[in-house]
Structure 1
Amino acid sequence: MKKVSILVPEHAVLQAIADPQYCFSAVNQFLQSAGQPPLFEVQLVGISKEISLNAGRYSVRPDVLISEVERTDLVFIPALFGNLKEAVEANKELIPWIVAQYNKGAEVASLCVGAFLLASTGLLNGKKCSTHWGFANEFRALFPEVEIQDGHIVTEENRIYSSGGANSYWNLLLHLVEKYTNRETAILASKYFAIDIDRNSQSAFAMFKGQKAHNDSAVSHAQQYIEENIEEKITVDQLADRVALGRRSFERRFKQATHNSVLEYIQRIKVEAAKRSFESSRKNINEVMYDVGYTDTKAFRTTFRKITGLTPLEYRNKYNKQSVG
């Protein structure tokens, strides 16, 4: 049974609390209807027994207090409303608990501008993050050590998930449903909630989609080559030659256009392909490693863990759909 803890912060958007609860509770019903046991224990978690939202128009009674949750598997941070600096300050008591749960192995997901509270924990420093496009500049000013992914629906890095603005958090919910259950259940949920599953099915590559919103044709050509030749050992010199640029000029332009170095981009594309293979195939670690162009087990393991926060074996055991009963 996976424990899902949905935080009930002060200044939260009510729907961003209700929707993940509704989603994962519905998935439990889908599984039971198929003759399978429920997979999720869903709880609302707060710092007090009753929390008023929307200027007192609504009140939410958490199932448990943060002091009563020793360990959980997945933490949701809902979207916040109003002045975000004030909202974060009002919820500073939640920050040590979020950090503690992450350090114990939990995954953490922020919905929309819940990213402001997530970033306040420091867990996003040096990592990428999605949030509502309308708050991106404010986010950059407050958290310069976090790399905002403009226009992205879902960003995933090192057991931390974040979503774009407004209802796009449903794509993150479906992404997590698929990871924890299987593709068929995610499709069923998408139909039930009338959400476009195709937006979610590409979410493992979502961090790269936004990096194509540039006008540098040479960089675009290099990106396309990388993504179409995952199994190859691609070098910076090889790519520079393909687009008829000197190495230094090519690296500068690639970084400017994508916000990633060439090598970092290659690594992320290869790891995302490996993740998908681990999630949906019976291939062993070495087979997947060779499929994405690695021959050095240590290098593959190190790169994979740097990006995902898990070893290849841990990732396969956690997310391989064929292992879910």
Structure 2
Amino acid sequence: MKTVSILVPESAVLEAVADPRYLFTAVNQFLQASGKPPIFEVQLVGATRDVHYQNGLFSVHTDRLLHEVNRTDLVIIPALFGDMKSAIRKNDVLIDWIVEQYAKGAEVASLCVGAFLLASTGLLDGKRCSTHWAFASEFRELFPEVELVDGSIITEEHNLYSSGGANSYWNLLLYLVEKYTDRDTAILASKYFAIDIDRDSQSAFMLFKGQKDHDDAEVLRAQEFIEENYCEKIAVDDLAERVAVGRRSFERRFRKATHHSVVDYIQRVKIEAAKRSFERSRKNISEVMFDVGYTDTKAFRELFKKITGLTPIEYRNKYYKEEVILV
């Protein structure tokens, strides 16, 4: 038997507590139906017997208190909700327990922005991690010692697991099911829960919003110029001259403030504009390409796929739907 301890933090996403319990319990039922013994002992673990969510509208009753769990095989950290710094403070008591269980040999998996709580333990320092794309900048600011992997669905390093945004945590849960059971059981679970088992990127869902929560006025001016003039060809030298900063200093300051190189930032702004056009209009690839300042079709296609994980045609087919006019 593998003991799965699902933490019940304060300020958690309720579904991220309930879904892992649902999945691992269902897998036990699948195994029993095929004549095999159940493999998972699933328990909800918290600092108190009852944890309340959404102003008391919901409550979760824990099976075990922290001090009642001596050893476990897998710790699941659900996604947090609201202000991340506040959520971490509310769950200080969980941090030492997570570290203690990891030291005893437990694996630890964070779901979505549960990565903030996992990173707070220090266990991720010098290691790679995934989290929700919308929280990437904040995560980097709070945990500069952790290597955040942009767009990844699942990251695994030294028995520490993390997942991308929102429902991507289902892919990590299926990954863990396969690890502890077998491929056939994971496929059965994926079909039962209607989850695409091998999705490995959240790139197609990402929105690029340049990091502007910094105090570098010149870099901010450059960002605003890029976003207002993405349809033009923008040179790094011209940007540096526009904000009256030497190129090398400008590039260094830009990366420090935004976590992107100048060229990468320009590309992402252009591709974000292209994505919006594909979502909302019937323009062909060439028209959209010219609208965002590119003239090389091959280069545009390659860059678009690199950033979104999809070709321009695949992206349009996924997100564009003609308006239905009722007569």
Percent identity, aligned pairs only? 71
The Cα of 1:57 is off from its aligned counterpart by 1.3
Write the letter of the residue equivalent to 2:38: P
The residue number in structure 1 matching 2:60 is 60
Which whole-Å CA distance do the structure 2 matches of 1:86 and 1:197 have between them? Answer: 33
1:112-261 aligned at under 5 Å gives the runs 112-199=112-199
Mapping for residues 6-155 of structure 1, pairs under 5 Å: 6-155=6-155
Residue deviations 1:189-243 (CA, integer Å, cap 9, x gap): 00000001232xxx6xx79xxxxxxxxxxxxxxxxxxxxxxxxxxxxxxxxxxxx
For 1:195 and 1:50, the matched residues in 2 are separated by: 31
Aligned-pair distance for 1:56?
1.6
Give the match for residue 319 of structure 1.
Answer: none
TM-score, normalised on structure 1? Answer: 0.62
Shift in Å at residue 144 of structure 1? Answer: 0.2
Letter of the structure 2 residue corresponding to residue 196 of structure 1 = D
Secondary structure at 1:124 match in 2 = coil
Structure number with greater Rg is 2
Amino acid across the alignment from 1:63: D
SS in structure 1 opposite 2:194?
coil
Structure 1 partner of 2:239: none
Aligned residue identity for 2:82? G
**TM-score normalised by L of structure 2:** 0.61
> What amino acid maps onto 2:117 in structure 1?
L
- Distance in 2 between residues matched to 1:47 and 1:167, nearest whole Å: 26
Where does structure 1 differ by over 6 angstroms across 4 or more consecutive aligned residues? Answer: none
CA RMSD between the two structures = 1.5
Q: 1 or 2, which has the higher helix percentage? A: 1
Q: Secondary structure at the match of 1:197?
A: coil
The whole-number CA distance in structure 1 between the counterparts of 2:198 and 2:100 is: 34
Q: Deviations over 1:294-317 (max 9, x none)?
A: xxxxxxxxxxxxxxxxxxxxxxxx
Confirm or deny: 8 A CA contact 2:171 2:198 kept in the other structure: no
Count of aligned positions: 204
Distance 2:93 2:105 in 1: 20
C-alpha distance in 2 between matches for 1:102 and 1:154: 19
Q: Secondary structure at the match of 1:93?
A: helix
2:156 counterpart letter in structure 1: E
Question: What is residue 246 of structure 2 aligned with on the other side?
Answer: none
CA–CA separation in structure 2 for the residues paired with 1:100 and 1:171: 26
Secondary structure of the 2:198 match is helix
